[in-house]
Amino acid sequence: MYSEKVMEHFANPRNVGEIPDANAVGQVGNAKCGDIMKMYMKIEDNVIKDVKFKTFGCGAAIATSSMATEMVKGKTVDEALQLTNKAVMEALDGLPKEKIHCSVLAEEAIQSAINDYRRRNGEDVPEDKEYTCEH
């Protein structure tokens, strides 16, 4: 059901934990399955120097968070905002159809953290939109 890459990232997730002096923190939740993802970033000069996450959720959510954090590390905030759940899924060699929504959690958590960073820097960023999952 799952690709080898998904299983590998699920078994050995990268960048798990918290960053005590993070200057960007985002959290998104899924009202239906109750899964929550929290993302911490250390951003300097608009570059994501470090990123960590905590996911209280399913294996697909953990694997996509792991891959997504690997993909945004070292990127500028603008580049990170371009990251889609589709790109993360492709990097993981796909997800079963009924698990696609789980990958949205990672994309939204990155956006939520960057929005937090921008608000802290005085930018006028709208409130995060509510994430709703379709299962």
Query: Based on CB atoms, which residue is closest to ligand FES, 77 or 110?
Result: 110
Active site residue 133: no
- Please classify residue 30 by burial: count the beta carbons closer than 10 Å to its beta carbon, then call 0-12 exposed, 13-18 middle and 19+ buried: buried
Q: Is 114 helix (H, G, I), strand (E, B) or coil?
A: helix
Name the active-site residue from 102, 104, 105, 106. 102
- At 120, list the tokens: 């802290």
Could you tell me the smallest distance in angstroms from the CB atom of residue 118 to ligand FES?
A: 26
Which of 7, 25, 33, 81 is catalytic? The answer is: 33
Residue 58 falls in the annotated catalytic set: no
What is the spatial distance between Cα 107 and Cα 110, in angstroms, rounded to a whole number? 5
Applying CB under 6 A, which residues contact ligand FES?
30, 33, 35, 57-58, 60-61, 102, 105
Radius of gyration of the chain (CA): 14
Q: Minimum CB separation from ligand FES for residue 57, in Å?
A: 4
Active-site residue list: 33, 102
